[in-house]
Structure 1
Amino acid sequence: MSNISKQMIPKVEAYHKRKLSDKFFCVYLDTTYIPLRRETFEREAVYIAIGIKPNGHKEVIDYCIAPSENIEVWTALLQT
């Protein structure tokens, strides 16, 4: 594991666990596939929830990465 990865893991974990302080007027859910290099170089699904605040500003509420799109991943993302 690289030094950059070691430094980023605690920050990413804190981001996923943070409290949402604002209210959102609307929430968009989307998935896109991007190439990720792990053991192989394959495209994986990036799930993202974006909230729009009453003032119009957008905020990434949460995200996760999975091999493919399915309801179980969406359910887990929305319950966290």
Structure 2
Amino acid sequence: MNDHRKSQALTAWERLFNQPEIRMDAEEQYEALLRLADEFEDGGIISPGERTALIERATVLYSQSVAGVGEGT
């Protein structure tokens, strides 16, 4: 596994996690984060355990994002 490639990939994932693209809703952000995690694992950049950790983080973010929908937040 190339450490530089892994670092770049995880940086891109974190950037999307922290700052979704303009006009990207919570569902689109979630799907993009999952897609990246899958691509990184399929490409041998991250391990299955690291993929699981990224998916868990994305799921928590998505859950928090949609929890306030309809509640005036």
TM-score range (shorter-chain normalised) is: 0.3 to 0.5
Higher relative contact order (CA 8 A, sep 6+): 2
TM-score normalized by the length of structure 1: 0.31
The structure richer in helix per residue is 2
Structure possessing the higher radius of gyration over alpha carbons: 1
TM-score normalized by the length of structure 2: 0.33
